[in-house]
């Protein structure tokens, strides 16, 4: 059984940042990551550009250098990999943490499984959970959502060339996907419950979408919801009312459906550790000044600390959580 000062669960930007801050305070943290460094970013659309500037994505005191106004997905992957290498962070890759239990002596027992299926146990004085949220899409809960032509992820447009695609959602991910799909000749319909696409859509992208809608390249159905998915079509209910008072239902042809409705942290994983983490918009219980949860010695970093809206905390704000965690652990070590 290995013994560690601090175990960080997750090697995304916020986990890497927390590990680097812990290094600066004299700790030698171990990161356990179920995939590889910055895995969530690797799953973003291939041609995605970040909303944030490179400076706002920097961690560990290492500059993020790019000639572009907005860094790309590939540039971010390169940057975070370089950070892990220059900082010589200890990372056990492709190892999934299955449980974190507090022992009678106040330490933690971290159980994990590697790619060979072997169960490993690591003890730690403290644990930082920085698991992100990308593996847990917000489900709509409608008939047909589990059909094989339905996806909550969009990587690139090429596979959808020449097909009819219905996109559910009106955020940045939905708008970016729609514009990419149009370029490969897909027939795109966006179905969104709001009056217009989200106010959070990147300001340089919104005019491109509205132009495509006005030219008939994209159908935009606002104040509408997909209520059922079938092979070859979806059923859409509009908030507008027929004269008889019944909701308006329409059928939209669809070879594929992209349900780009966002993601959420895994609250069940936190609850199993003893963290007070109810489902819904209330954040898990933690001290925002130290990021320590109601379980002493167990900390949260990044989006896992937020409520239902994962956009509340992203890299540019979550990267500072490690500073608070490291300072608190250092003060505890020094008896302050």
pLDDT recorded at residue 50: 87
- pLDDT of the residue at 225: 94
Query: Residue 266: is its pLDDT beyond 60?
Result: yes
The runs of H, that is alpha helices, within the chain are: 13-24, 39-42, 73-86, 172-183, 206-214, 267-272, 315-318, 321-333
Q: Are residues 317 and 210 in the same domain?
A: no
Shared domain for 249 and 172, answered yes or no, is: yes
Domain end (from 259, 281, 309): 259
Contact 315, 14 (CB under 8 A): yes
Confidence of residue 281 (pLDDT cuts 50, 70, 90): confident
- 219/288 same-domain check: no
Residue 239 in domain: yes
Of the listed ranges 35-44, 52-61, 201-210, 291-300, the one predicted with least confidence: 201-210
User: What ranges in 159-205 are assigned the alpha helix state H?
Assistant: 172-183
Which residues, 6+ apart, have CB-to-CB distance to 246 below 8 Å?
none
**Domain identity same for 109 and 251:** no
In terms of Cα–Cα distance, which of 235, 12, 20 is closest to 144? 235
* Domain residue limits at 283: 2-136+263-333
For residue 310, pLDDT beyond 60: no
Q: Is the pLDDT assigned to residue 85 strictly greater than 70? A: yes
Domains held by the chain: number = 2
Same domain, 129 and 21: yes
Residue 144: inside a domain, yes or no? no
CATH code where residue 92 lies: 3.50.50.60
Indicate the pLDDT class of residue 336, thresholds 50, 70 and 90.
low
Note whether 24 and 110 are same-domain residues. Answer: yes
Tokens of 312: 């509340």
Tell me: do 39 and 109 sit in the same domain: yes
Residue 281 shares a structural domain with residue 318: yes
Confidence of residue 312 (pLDDT cuts 50, 70, 90): very low
What does the pLDDT look like over 56-82, one tens digit per residue? Answer: 999 999 999 999 888 999 999 999 999
Would 208 be classed as within a structural domain? yes
- Whether 148 and 170 have beta carbons less than 8 Å apart is answered as no
If asked whether residues 77 and 128 sit together in one domain, one would say: yes
pLDDT tens for 155-213 read 999 999 999 999 999 988 899 999 999 999 999 999 999 988 888 788 888 899 999 99
Q: Say how far apart CA 49 and CA 46 lie, in whole Å.
A: 9
End position of a domain, from candidates 228, 259, 290: 259
Pairwise pLDDT comparison (48 vs 314), residue with the higher score: 48
Residue pointed to by tokens 């030698």: 28
pTM of the model: 0.87
User: Are the C-beta atoms of residues 169 and 197 closer than 8 Å to each other?
Assistant: no
Q: Does 8 share its domain with 128?
A: yes
- Rounded to whole angstroms, the Cα distance separating 264 from 303 reads 9
For the chain, how many residues are written? Answer: 336
Rounded CA separation 155/284 (Å): 30
Query: Among 231, 259, 287, where does a domain finish?
Result: 259
Per-residue model confidence (pLDDT) at position 69: 87
pLDDT at 308: 55
CB-based contacts of 95: which residues, under 8 Å, 6+ apart? 32, 33, 34, 112, 113, 114, 115, 120
Alpha-carbon Rg of the chain, whole angstroms? Answer: 22
Could you tell me if 248 and 268 lie in one domain?
no
Average pLDDT over residues 83-100: 97
Contact 14, 321 (CB under 8 A): yes
């Amino acid at each position: 059984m290995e013994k560690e000062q601090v175990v960080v669960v997750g090697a995304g930007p916020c986990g890497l940042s927390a590990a680097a801050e812990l290094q600066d305070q004299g700790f030698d943290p171990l990161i356990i990551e179920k995939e590889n460094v910055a895995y969530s970013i690797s799953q973003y659309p291939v041609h995605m550009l970040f909303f944030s500037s490179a400076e706002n994505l920097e961690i560990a005191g290492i500059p993020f250098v790019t000639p572009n106004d907005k860094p790309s997905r590939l540039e971010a992957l390169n940057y975070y990999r370089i950070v892990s290498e220059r900082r010589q962070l200890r990372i056990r890759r492709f190892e999934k943490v299955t449980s974190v239990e507090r022992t009678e002596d106040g330490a933690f027992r971290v159980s994990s499984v590697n790619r060979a299926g072997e169960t490993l146990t690591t003890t730690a004085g403290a644990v930082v959970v920085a698991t992100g949220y990308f593996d847990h899409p917000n489900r709509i809960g409608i008939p047909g959502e589990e059909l094989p032509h339905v996806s909550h992820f969009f990587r690139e447009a090429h596979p959808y060339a020449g097909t009819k695609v219905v996109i559910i959602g009106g955020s940045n991910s939905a708008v970016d996907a729609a514009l990419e799909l149009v370029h490969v000749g897909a027939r795109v319909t966006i179905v969104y419950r709001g009056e217009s696409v989200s106010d959070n859509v990147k300001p340089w992208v919104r005019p491109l979408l509205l132009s495509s809608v006005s030219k008939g390249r994209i159908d935009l159905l606002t104040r509408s919801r997909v209520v059922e998915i079938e092979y070859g079509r979806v059923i859409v209910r509009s908030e507008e009312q027929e004269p008889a008072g019944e909701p308006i239902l329409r059928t939209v042809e669809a070879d594929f459906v992209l349900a780009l409705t966002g993601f959420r942290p895994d609250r069940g994983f936190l609850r199993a550790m003893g963290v007070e983490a109810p489902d819904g918009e209330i954040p898990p219980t933690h001290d925002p000044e130290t990021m320590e949860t109601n379980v002493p010695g167990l900390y949260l970093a990044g989006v896992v600390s937020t409520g239902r809206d994962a956009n509340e905390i992203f890299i540019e704000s979550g990267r500072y959580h490690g500073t608070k965690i490291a300072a608190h652990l250092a003060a505890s070590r020094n008896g302050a």
